[in-house]
């Protein structure tokens, strides 16, 4: 990986993404203008966005893994995972109403989230290290929203757009990792009373703890660590499902309870 964009270009592209995120409009994917952009350029733009949000007073809550299941990779036409940061401004309570007017074309996905009790750092983190550092896991629904036209992108562009992060809801029931088999957690996603997706947590890199290790190792390469107390989403288990105003979503997780969300204009 190497950075090919200069500081001015990184700031300009970051401002373009920030505008699209905060005012909810579509933009062409960044690689249309910068076809040689690298994954590291994408992270340079994402980290500039994080820097600006934190400067504006947003609090960093944790990170997410993206594109960690075959279902998601197939749906988006990308073959490698990515990461994105999560702030307090993106968090929504369980059973709440999420507005769509401040989003471009939202989709929902079911994820297993980890809350850590020890710092994880370096570039050789394993799933076992993640389990040892995990306080508990909870179910989560992520509301992703690509700012790119028609929800179409490549890895470099989606990374610059903070891996489509928009909203997230943690809820259900928390469990210690020794109370669960993290590979066989079943999920059923319902929209307006109908089952639209289902799957098992092994879809996520064979084990969601592997996805968290991937987040730590990528952060390590990018010069950051995962502090104790972080909230980490391990990636959508099934394909993501588009939502519109009026939709009711229920994500049911085996052993972890369920999360309901209503969408309104
Ligand atoms: C990229 C974000 C993917 C996941 O859980 O796989 C993601 C996207 O699909 O827009 O959050
Ligand atoms: Mg996700």
Tell me which ligand sits closest to the C-alpha of residue 42. Answer: 1
Query: Sorting pLDDT into bands at 50, 70 and 90, what band is 126?
Result: very high
Global pTM reads 0.98
> Class for domain 7-264, per CATH?
alpha beta
**Residue to probe by mutation, ligand 1, list 114, 236, 251, most atoms within 8 Å of CB:** 236
* 49-89 pLDDT tens trace: 999 999 999 999 999 999 999 999 999 999 999 999 999 99
Dist. CA 73 → ligand 1 center (Å): 9
Q: Whose CA is nearest to atom 8 of ligand 1?
A: 164
CB-side neighbour CA atoms (13 Å) of 83: 24
Q: Which residue has the tokens 């700031």?
A: 11
Ligand 1 neighbours (beta carbon < 6 A): 64, 66-68, 72, 76, 109, 142, 144, 146, 158, 163-164, 235-236, 240
Beta strands in the chain (DSSP E): 60-66, 82-87, 97-99, 107-116, 134-144, 165-170, 186-191, 194-200, 231-233, 241-242, 248-253, 257-264
Closest approach atom of ligand 1 to CA 236: 5
Total length of the chain: 265
Q: Is pLDDT at 12 greater than 90 in this prediction?
A: yes
Pairing mode, if any, of strands 186-191 and 134-144?
Answer: unpaired
d(CA 229, CA 205): 23
Q: How far is the CA of 155 from the centre of ligand 2 (A)?
A: 14
The Cα–Cα gap between 131 and 201 comes to 15
Q: According to the model, what pLDDT value does residue 121 have?
A: 98
């Amino acid at each position: 990986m190497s950075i090919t964009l200069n500081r001015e270009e990184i700031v300009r592209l970051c401002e373009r993404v920030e505008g699209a995120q905060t005012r909810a409009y579509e933009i062409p994917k960044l690689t249309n203008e910068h076809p040689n952009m690298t994954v590291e350029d994408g992270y340079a733009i994402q980290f500039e966005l994080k820097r600006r949000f934190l400067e504006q007073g947003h609090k960093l809550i944790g990170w997410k893994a993206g594109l960690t299941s075959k279902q998601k990779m197939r749906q988006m036409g990308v073959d490698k995972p990515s990461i994105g940061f999560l702030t307090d401004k993106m968090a929504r309570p369980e059973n709440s109403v999420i507005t769509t007017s401040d989003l471009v074309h939202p989709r929902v996905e079911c994820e297993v989230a980890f809350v850590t009790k020890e710092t994880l750092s370096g570039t050789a983190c394993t799933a076992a290290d993640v389990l040892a550092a995990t306080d508990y896991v909870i179910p989560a629904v992520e509301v992703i929203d690509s700012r790119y036209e028609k929800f179409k992108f490549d890895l470099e562009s989606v990374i610059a757009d903070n891996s489509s992060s928009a909203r997230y809801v943690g809820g259900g029931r928390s469990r210690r990792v020794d109370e669960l088999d993290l590979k066989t957690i079943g999920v059923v996603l319902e929209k307006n009373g109908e089952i639209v997706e289902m799957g098992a947590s092994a879809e996520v890199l064979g084990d969601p703890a592997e996805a968290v290790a991937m987040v730590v190792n990528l952060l390590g390469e990018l010069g950051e660590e995962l502090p104790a107390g972080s909230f980490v989403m391990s990636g959508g288990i099934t394909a993501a499902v588009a939502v519109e105003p009026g939709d009711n979503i229920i994500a049911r997780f085996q052993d972890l309870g369920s999360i309901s969300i209503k969408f309104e204009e």
